[in-house]
Amino acid sequence: MIEIISAFSKYNMNKFVLHLFKKVLRAFDVLLKLLLEILFILFIPFLRLIYKVASPNKNIICLVKRYQDTIERHNTHSNINFLRTTFRRQGFNKVIVLCVGNGDNSTYDWGEEIMGVNINLFYSITLQNFLPHFYNSLRDICASIITLRFIKKNKIGFLETDFPSNTIIRIIRLNLISGAKIIVKVIGNMDLIYNQTKFPIFFPFKIKTKIGNFIHKQYDSLVAFLIFNLASLIIGVNRNNFENALSKGAEFNKSFLVRVDFYRQMLKEPILIRKKLKNFPSSGRVILTWSRLYKDMMIDKVLISVSVLLKKNRDLNLVIIGDGPEKDDLVKLASNLGILKQCYFLGFKPRSYIRSAAHYSNVICLPYSGLSLIEAGIMKCAVVAFDYEWNSELVVDGYSGFLADSRNIEDIKTKLEKLLLDKKISRSMSENLFKITNNLFSKDSLLRQNNLAYGSLFADKKNNKKKS
């Protein structure tokens, strides 16, 4: 008995020592990160002497992308016309889509002076495991230096970044050192994303207390205020994002609502025979969604909501097009729910595939959508969207689709079931959604918005030419 107690005590002591070691290591990790960041700030005046672009070419814009797979994904799954629609920028003669990360060093010519460039960055599993915060700062600072060299070499005049994203701190550094002007494309509502994921947008780690929650929000708001005030142009891709940017300090005079264009050629893509759609269910009814598989996209709620319907209707399938870090967890969730056999995780697919997949689907379920909702609308799909962020700008509940409460699984399930069962309502709503989408995203409307926004960048240049 004494031996058992002694062994148990040793086990608890070892557990305590290990826990203490982890705490000390994490504190050391954070301290190293802070020292590195402070050191970099002190070196900014010196770096300006090296990397400031003396005569930047104001006709070249570099889109600094946040996802590690951006270049390869687009090069593999997107055709040239889609790439031109996505990356062409009004008033610029040359567009460089740049990703500094885990991809192989590569350059792709996408036509019409649009290039995709991958620059490989070192990767260390050991450092990532033992000193994750220091490692992330080190990688981002190295990415900043590499990008600065790229900016100077190509004499880049403008940088564009998505907001919110993990490139924002880097963009602030690049602006302060190189002098390149910033365009911020607001593609998400940072307050809603924070409330959904419960993880800070810019603050490097999560503090699990109410004080921590306060610190996260204040720090994130400060970073937002800085990037918006450094920016020469702020673009909100929908009204919700535009107004959220204004609430975070974006100056109204340099902020514009510019809705994103979509790949119109998609409507001319041929509808493939269903059996020739690789990995798509060859028969039965289909609920379809396409999205990047990230936590804030709420695909897990789609799975939970649909699970009851799938168990009740063996002819019903859920098809998920897209990829991302949440894929493995979503597959496990589908397995735990007992619906994996009726779930199809297809990964990334080109727009031509999505066109055919949507044609053979009975309902489209879009939780947190951007381009996918526009595409669903223009393809005359019956849609259940979550009542979240900008979705209500296109989906008028009960008229052009259903808006479901993202917090209410029963509400999502009920509205999906209504569209599955009532073909008349489904057709009527899909027609109404098409009309709203077609009007809001007409070519003339988007052209006016782009001319107004990007024209503001070149107004000074034009005025100076007139004076001279």
State pLDDT tens for residues 13-37. 566 667 777 888 888 999 999 999 9
* Ramachandran sector of residue 91 (left: φ over 0; alpha: ψ -120 to 50; beta: rest): left
SS3 percent helix, strand, coil of the chain, rounded to 5, is 55, 15, 25
| pLDDT of residue 69 exceeding 80 | no
According to DSSP, the residues that pair with 181 across neighbouring strands are 158
Nearest to 50 by CA among 144, 119, 140: 144
Q: Could you tell me the domains of the chain?
A: 6-257 (3.40.50), 274-440 (3.40.50.2000)
| pLDDT of residue 250 exceeding 60 | yes
Residue-by-residue DSSP string for 241-277: HHHHHHHTT--GGGEEE-PPP--GGGGGS----GGGS
| 200 upstream amide cis, omega within 30 of 0 | no
- Whether 83 and 74 have beta carbons less than 8 Å apart is answered as yes
User: Three-state SS for 462?
Assistant: helix
157 vs 56: CA distance, rounded Å: 5
Question: Residue 74 contacts by C-beta under 8 Å, 6 or more apart in sequence?
Answer: 83, 86, 97, 116
If pLDDT is split at 50, 70 and 90, which confidence band does 8 have?
A: very low
pLDDT tens string 46-64: 999 999 998 899 999 999 9
| pLDDT of residue 233 exceeding 60 | yes
pTM of the model: 0.88
**Of the listed ranges 196-200, 273-277, 288-292, the one predicted with least confidence:** 196-200
Q: What is the pLDDT of residue 74?
A: 78
Q: What is the pLDDT of residue 158?
A: 96
According to DSSP, the residues that pair with 256 across neighbouring strands are 235
Would you tell me how many other CB atoms lie within 10 Å of the CB of residue 32?
16
What is the number of residues in the chain?
468
Average pLDDT estimate for 167-175 = 95
pLDDT averaged over every residue in the chain: 90
